Amino acid sequence: ACAIEGSGIDMVMGIGGAPEGVLAAAALRCLGGEMQGRLWPKDEEDIQRAQKMGITDVNKLLTLDDLVKTDDIFFAATGITEGPLLKGVTFTSNGATTHTVVMRGKTGTVRFIEAKHYFAKKPKYAIKGAIPEEK
């Protein structure tokens, strides 16, 4: 909820993997926020992996622009468990409700979507056993 007006959250600090850092940067880029990060390689293999992706200095302090170089970006997230920004999945007798945020970098548009999912109309590719079987 950081960088969302009225959230009451001004700053977030944390640690995570590089993919999570890029996802956070994408969301903040859409919201007009800022961030700084640093790689924290565990071993030589992590350093070599970063270098293969074009990172020459694994100790460099990375800015938002280092992580996301354009405003031509979209970000979407759906809550699984309850959080400060999104509600978690809730189940009903015939389906589930999800809450999603979708953001666009170019326009700064932020959309919140509440979706109803009806298990009786589940697609054929749904994983067997993941949802209750129809009777």
Closest among 76, 72, 67, 63 to 103, alpha carbons compared = 76
Domain boundaries, the chain: 18-121
pLDDT in tens for each of the 135 residues of the chain? 788 888 888 888 888 888 899 999 999 999 999 999 999 889 999 899 989 988 889 999 999 999 999 999 999 999 999 998 999 999 998 899 999 999 999 999 999 999 999 988 877 666 566 555 655
Which residues are within 8 A (CB) of 1 and not within 5 positions of it... i.e. 6 or more apart?
A: 7, 8, 9, 84, 85
Maximum distance among all Cα pairs of the chain, rounded to whole angstroms: 59
Q: Are 36 and 63 in contact (CB under 8 A)?
A: yes
The answer to whether the pTM exceeds 0.75 is yes
End-to-end CA distance of the chain: 41
User: Is 11 in contact with 5 (CB distance < 8 Å)?
Assistant: no
Amino acid at 8: G
